[in-house]
A and B are shown apart, each in its own frame.
Chain A
Amino acid sequence: MKDSLIALSKDAIFSVRDLAPIVLVIAVFQAFVIRQPVDGLLSLIFGGVLVVAGLTCFIFGLRIALFPIGEGLAHALAKKGSAFWLFTFSFVLGFGTTIAEPSLLAVANEAASVAVDAGVIENTDDAIAGYALGLRLIVALSVGVALLLGVLRIITNWSLPLMIIAGYILVIIVTTMAPPEIVGVAYDSGGVTTSTVTVPLVTALGVGLASSLKGRNPMTDGFGLIAFASLTPILFVLLYGIVTQWR
């Protein structure tokens, strides 16, 4: 009990440290540059407290629940050596963690409300929720595929830079064909997928796999899964934009 309280307060310090530079920069700009009273300061502060409290509980929960099972499974499956289950697990892991990713939730909702204002979708709760969920499912699917590709690369020892460069070239080509409204959202979803939930589990999978294969260096071969996870969402969301355009 005492140990978990200490762990919880450590996570609280990390959340505060995450938010501190933002508060500092904004406070300096408000005090010295803008010099105007801020409306609704109280609700902003209360919201900030909720962000810190929420992030603290979230990270603490991840650390005592999701990470131990996820890492244990990643190591066990990598050792087991069954390619089928390894691929299934990588895909499911990418998909499941991305659906629960807080920053993707936030950005998908923003994207939906912007789409309403621009008249791309109807202004009904169903249409908004549907658009946001559709976006999240596409991004989750793409992260699942990214992990599949990344694990395949670690097993086959294909060159990471070559695959990444090929991916970037593909993104540039597909961009020229995609409707302009989707381009910004697509590029942003690449940066959104790689935060709190996905990174630790994915790194555990990569490093676990690289250390259980002969002749692989966990330091250099284990990484790079994240790089795939930030590339494929761009591609998939662009393709999604192209496909829905034809309907």
Chain B
Amino acid sequence: MEMIVEAFMFIFDSATDVAPIVIFLFAFQVFVIRERIPNLRQILVGFVFVVVGLGLFLVGLEESLFPLGRLMAQQLTDPEFIAQVSGHIDRALVWQDFYWVYLFAAALGFSTTLAEPALMAVAIKANAVSGGAIGVWGLRVAVAIGAGTGVALGCFRIITGLPLQYFIAAGYLVVIVQTALAPKMIVPLAYDSGGVTTSTVTVPLIAALGLGLAEAVPGRSPLLDGFGLVAFAALFPIISVLAYGQLAALRQRSAESSTELAEETDHAL
């Protein structure tokens, strides 16, 4: 019952969230383009779906993904659990003791990204534009490895409490150097793939995981250490896709030079 009342409140709130974009679009259609809106009824029904859907989704987040992220963080950092899996230890915990957290984070980042529908569409397009140099599976695995590494490294940072900006600044430096070296056509694709990994379902879960870790690990503050996982998940795919493009270019170059060599020997014969 409580959840139903809550759902109605969320749906009411989401109506006010969606209102600006609806008003803007209608205003542009009427005053700038000056055309009637085609399929007006279908569009109005669609907006009702948007509002109700957003409301239900947000209630569901509060009830499932947020608590789940926190729960996993608590259980995996519980000193009793760590003592159980790594034999009995009577010393203070160090960052190496939290290896299940890193494994969990990597598995989560990797699997959610690999299954991301938006990424499949991008990979198929990229394959077509590059004339086959960029493989569909290769790109998807590259982005997924990037996301998995990113989330795992982000957890390591929260547990150790190292400053976020050092990691991000170092990551950006790597991206800048890679951008200068990588083949031109992969660059926009790489930048966009950072955005692709952070889907609507994944973001709340890893945000909750980060905050849960910062709450559970002694000496960490949620405010200073809890955020940043989403940023890691968005940054590392850029690096891994650029690296993948560089590898593909290298392979192509060596393949070309070996066919040239073969042609030359043909001529010689």
Contact = CB atoms under 8 A, between A and B. Distances in A.
Nearest to A191: B234
A211 to B, nearest CB: 14
Given A51-B64, A73-B33, A102 B56 contact: no
A69 B37 CA distance: 8
Interface residues of B, number: 107
Interface string B186-205: 01110110111111111111
B68 interface: yes
A230 interface: yes
Q: What band does the interface of chain A fall in when counting residues whose beta carbon is under 8 Å from B? A: 35 or more
Nearest to A52: B60
A50 B60 contact: yes
A18 B60 CA distance: 14
Given A21-B111, A64-B43, A165-B176, A102 B57 contact: yes
Which has the most chain A C-beta neighbours within 10 Å: B55, B57, B58, B81?
B57
Contact of B199 (A106, A176, A184, A195): A195
A100 B179 contact: no
B53 A56 contact: yes
A114 B224 CA distance: 10
A203 B172 CA distance: 24
A92 interface: yes
A196 B108 contact: no
Interface in A23-57: 24-26, 28-29, 33-34, 36, 38-40, 43-57
A90 B246 CA distance: 33
B71 interface: yes
Nearest to B228: A184
Interface in A166-223: 168-169, 171-172, 175-176, 180-181, 183-185, 187-188, 190-192, 194-197, 199, 219-220, 223
A22 B25 contact: no
Contact of A33 (B17, B85, B175, B196): B85
The 8 A-B residue pairs whose C-beta atoms are closest, nearest first, are A65-B46, A184-B227, A47-B63, A47-B64, A61-B49, A54-B57, A57-B53, A58-B53
